[in-house]
Structure 1
Amino acid sequence: MEEGTPSPATYRWQDWGLQELLAAKQDAGTRVSLVVPARNEAATVGAVVSRVRKALVDTVALLDEIVVIDSDSDDDTFAIAEDAGAVVHRSRDIRPDLGSVPGKGEAMWKALFVTTGDLLVFMDADLLDWDTHFVPGLLGPLLTSPPVRLVKGFYERPYVDGDVVTPYEGGRVTELVARPLLSLRFPELIGVLQPLAGEWAVRRSLFESLSVPTGYAVEIAALVDTFRAHGLEALAQVDLGRRAHRHQALRDLGAMATQVMAATESRWAGLPPRDVVMLLDREVPLGERPPARSLLEVRR
């Protein structure tokens, strides 16, 4: 980044040791939940859960629970995640009185009703090239810097096409939509390198206060809303190294881009989000869940 570019506090995952983070967690009496939203990720979710559990639950108790939220999968995602050691919930079965809609953001919002952590770490279930240091790296700023409320991961994202791997060419919606849009609408966030990163961490007290898009705009909405409510000092980002995942089809990326643009534009213009928009012959849902805090307080 050029000198003078606004940027949240930026770290590397190596900046903290596991014992340092464990001591900070124990001193503060903090509970930590890892949440993995998943839809039809039977091929990869088991490795995500089992590797993290072995490294950060069984060996070093940095995590108190690993929770997979199954978003209407029609493969063996639920059974494989459970066998790997996660607590698994179907999104539609969590607070059925509130109804259920498909989407990643919906699964993450529903996680607030079935997790116990003061800190929530989110990881995607389709990871192919990654390591367990993602979790302590994301927790570092939250456990050691009280002003930080939300932490984004960033990484080298290769584009994998069969046997051809092209470094730094992944993240097409990020580079073509999210970062240009933030530069135009919220230039204070231009220094956030991976605004759509699926690997991020947040204080429960903050996430409960946010309106949550039910689809793929959950990450950028949380980023913008945290910045507007608490300033740049509430944000941090951590270099996690390298991360690869399964790429989506171009048609699906179009729907994702539409959701990202709609959530960002509604926040910039101060307008309520629309429920749905047509993208050629396809309906793209744009709905948002209200802050969960009031619903959780009623339950409590």
Structure 2
Amino acid sequence: MGIRAAHWDDWSLEVLLGRKVELGQRVSLVVPARNEAATVGAVVSRVREALMETVALVDEIVVIDSDSVDDTFAVAASAGARVHRAAEIRPDLGTHPGKGEAMWKSLFVTSGDLVVFMDADLHDWDTHFVPGLLGPLLSDPGVQLVKGFYDRPGAEGPLEGGRVTELVARPLIALLFPELGSLVQPLAGEWAVRRTWFAGLSVPTGYAVELAALVDTVRAGGTSSLAQVDLGVRAHRHQALRDLGGMATQILAAALARSGVVPAAGGEAAVLRQYLRGLEPVEHVVPTVERPAAEAYL
């Protein structure tokens, strides 16, 4: 059985609100952010106005500031989010840099039964992303995790914004995790999950959080535990090609650990050497640590 797919407007807001009330579910929107002062305010304010003030689909908007050095914290707070610095959440558990760390830490400062994750660097998007992702969770108790997918237009074509997906994640899925092959965008930053399910997963602290969650979910619950929803169009800030090396390293580390190629612990870091010219490398220490299931600490 493949992974079911839906479209964001398969459910009306009225239907979703009715199901939320009937099930007694709370919804948290979590926005992990690092140096996204230029865009995080619009993400927060638009969702707050459309889905908290106009209709009560979202109960809280929480921004997890991951070591920003710009005004991300102040901008997000001014827009109406509750903002936490990742390093200050449960300091007894230590801190690591990375997107996955921010998402893992969010479990300690949110209350939603359903958690929706959205990236902070969105440019071309709309608030229907949130109800679209909630649709399968509110309509099917067997679905644990929902991935968004969308068109990603770029100046040079539709794949310009998905280089790590096409060159790393999709080949890994084809070779190691074929049961995930029907996912359109496995690394999409817009996804939703049941709180209790996410709390039971091991979470890479960096960019591998999305792929790891998919692999662990399908292994534990089968393809019926996953769903994907067409959200339309999405655009965000693209990174320089050289900067994607660390992201690819983290995704490979998580995939290899789940395939038994490297120890499950995965190690604390890898040294990535990149050559700009000649024989002089530029070395980057890439963290590959994973957080254990948060349920042990909640």
CA distance in 2 between counterparts of 1:167 and 1:265 reads: 28
Aligned to 2:151: 156
Output aligned runs, 1:57-96, within 5 Å.
57-96=52-91
CA distance in 1 between counterparts of 2:33 and 2:59 reads: 20
Q: Is the 8 A contact 1:121 1:200 kept in 2?
A: yes
SS state of the match for residue 259, structure 2?
helix
Aligned to 2:132: 137
TM-score, normalised with respect to structure 1: 0.94
State the shift of 1:251 in Å: 2.0
Correspondence 1:13 to 2:15: no
CA distance in 2 between counterparts of 1:168 and 1:255 reads: 20
Aligned to 1:290: 292
Deviations 1:70-94 (A, max 9, x none): 0010100000000000000000110
CA distance in 2 between counterparts of 1:165 and 1:143 reads: 38
Correspondence 1:53 to 2:44: no
CA distance in 2 between counterparts of 1:125 and 1:169 reads: 19
Q: Is the 8 A contact 1:278 1:284 kept in 2?
A: yes
TM-score, normalised with respect to structure 2: 0.95
State the shift of 1:157 in Å: 1.0
Correspondence 1:196 to 2:187: yes
State the shift of 1:167 in Å: 3.1
Correspondence 1:278 to 2:235: no
Deviates more, 1:77-86 or 1:266-275: 266-275
CA distance in 1 between counterparts of 2:243 and 2:26 reads: 36
CA distance in 1 between counterparts of 2:260 and 2:152 reads: 31
State the shift of 1:168 in Å: 4.0
State the shift of 1:265 in Å: 1.1
Output aligned runs, 1:38-49, within 5 Å.
38-49=33-44
CA distance in 2 between counterparts of 1:48 and 1:16 reads: 22
Q: 2:100 aligns with which of 82, 97, 105?
A: 105
Correspondence 1:185 to 2:176: yes
Give the AA of the match of 1:255: G
Give the AA of the match of 1:263: A
Aligned to 2:30: 35
Give the AA of the match of 2:85: R
Q: 2:245 aligns with which of 241, 245, 254?
A: 254
CA distance in 1 between counterparts of 2:244 and 2:174 reads: 20
Q: Is the 8 A contact 1:148 1:233 kept in 2?
A: yes
Unaligned stretches of 5+ residues in structure 2? 274-282
SS state of the match for residue 211, structure 2?
helix
Q: 1:207 aligns with which of 198, 205, 212?
A: 198
Unaligned stretches of 5+ residues in structure 1? 1-5
User: Kindly, what percent of the aligned residue pairs are identical?
Assistant: 69
Output aligned runs, 1:156-175, within 5 Å.
156-159=151-154, 164=155, 166-175=157-166
Q: Is the 8 A contact 1:209 1:293 kept in 2?
A: yes
Correspondence 1:241 to 2:243: no
State the shift of 1:278 in Å: 0.8
CA distance in 2 between counterparts of 1:62 and 1:31 reads: 8
Deviations 1:163-187 (A, max 9, x none): x463343211001110111110011
State the shift of 1:46 in Å: 0.2
CA distance in 1 between counterparts of 2:167 and 2:123 reads: 23
CA distance in 2 between counterparts of 1:143 and 1:168 reads: 32
CA distance in 1 between counterparts of 2:295 and 2:71 reads: 32
CA distance in 2 between counterparts of 1:167 and 1:284 reads: 29
Q: Is the 8 A contact 1:156 1:168 kept in 2?
A: no
Give the AA of the match of 2:187: L
CA distance in 1 between counterparts of 2:156 and 2:61 reads: 31
CA distance in 1 between counterparts of 2:221 and 2:234 reads: 29
Q: 2:209 aligns with which of 205, 218, 222?
A: 218
